[in-house]
């Protein structure tokens, strides 16, 4: 199986960039970033903070994304995984930067930039301060698979097998990241 979307790229050491065009207005895509119930359909539920410095919770329930149970390789993700993050910057509905993995200033950061384009929205996701190659491959394939689910959700389709897709894109990133 090959990825159905282009792979993200390393734009500098320890920084991943992924671009997607979604078939929805910017306000709708924004809602899927900041509304925990909508975000739960493609990434993680939990809570959300509305201002810089605000702490929030991401509750990952991967099996709910497509109904597919995690294979043995990812058995730890069969249960709910909780991550605390912090809003670094927020400019509705065009920019959101959050800490990833913890609320500390040393955590890696994810920025979502949204721009209207035609009838849709261009999303540029940039994940900075990835600590090593292993984490870069993991994060790259994870974002890719989650954004594929978001694409399905925004298109009104039932998401395809999250774990099956993740395994395929992980192989592609493993081969493509130096």
Strand spans (E) along 39-147 = 45-46, 55-60, 81-91, 95-100, 108-117, 120-128
Distance, in Å, from the CA atom of 140 to the CA atom of 36, rounded to the nearest integer, reads: 22
Beta bridge partners of 60: 81
pLDDT tens for residues 17-58?
999 999 999 999 999 999 999 999 999 999 999 999 999 999
H or E, element range at 165:
helix 162-176
> What residue ranges define each of the domains in the chain, with the CATH number in brackets?
9-176 (3.30.530.20)
pLDDT tens for residues 86-145?
999 999 999 999 999 888 888 999 999 999 999 999 999 999 999 999 999 999 999 999
pLDDT at 2 over 60: no
Confidence of residue 1 (pLDDT cuts 50, 70, 90): very low
Contact 83, 44 (CB under 8 A): yes
Predicted pLDDT of residue 4: 63
pLDDT tens for residues 103-115?
888 899 999 999 9
Predicted pLDDT of residue 101: 86
* Local structure of residue 9 (DSSP, 8 states): E
Predicted pLDDT of residue 54: 97
Strand spans (E) along 13-161 = 15-22, 45-46, 55-60, 81-91, 95-100, 108-117, 120-128
Tokens of 108: 């890696």
User: Model-level pTM?
Assistant: 0.95
pLDDT at 3 over 70: no
Count CB atoms within 10 A of the CB of residue 161: 16
């Amino acid at each position: 199986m090959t990825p159905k979307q282009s792979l993200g790229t390393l734009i500098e050491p320890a920084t991943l960039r992924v671009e997607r065009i979604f078939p929805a207005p910017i306000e709708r895509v924004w809602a899927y970033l900041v509304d925990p119930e909508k975000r739960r359909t493609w990434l993680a539920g939990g809570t959300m903070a509305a201002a810089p410095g605000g702490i929030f919770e991401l509750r990952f329930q991967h099996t709910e994304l497509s109904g597919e149970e995690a294979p043995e390789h990812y058995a730890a993700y069969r249960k709910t995984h909780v991550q605390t993050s912090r809003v670094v910057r927020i400019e509705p509905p065009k920019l959101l930067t959050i800490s990833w993995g913890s609320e500390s200033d040393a955590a890696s950061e994810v920025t979502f930039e949204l721009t209207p384009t035609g009838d849709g929205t261009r999303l540029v996701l940039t994940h900075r301060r990835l600590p090593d190659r292993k984490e870069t491959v993991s994060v790259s394939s994870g974002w890719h698979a989650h954004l594929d689910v978001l694409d399905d959700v925004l298109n009104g389709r039932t998401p395809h097998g999250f774990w099956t897709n993740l395994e395929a894109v992980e192989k592609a990133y493993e081969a493509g990241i130096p």
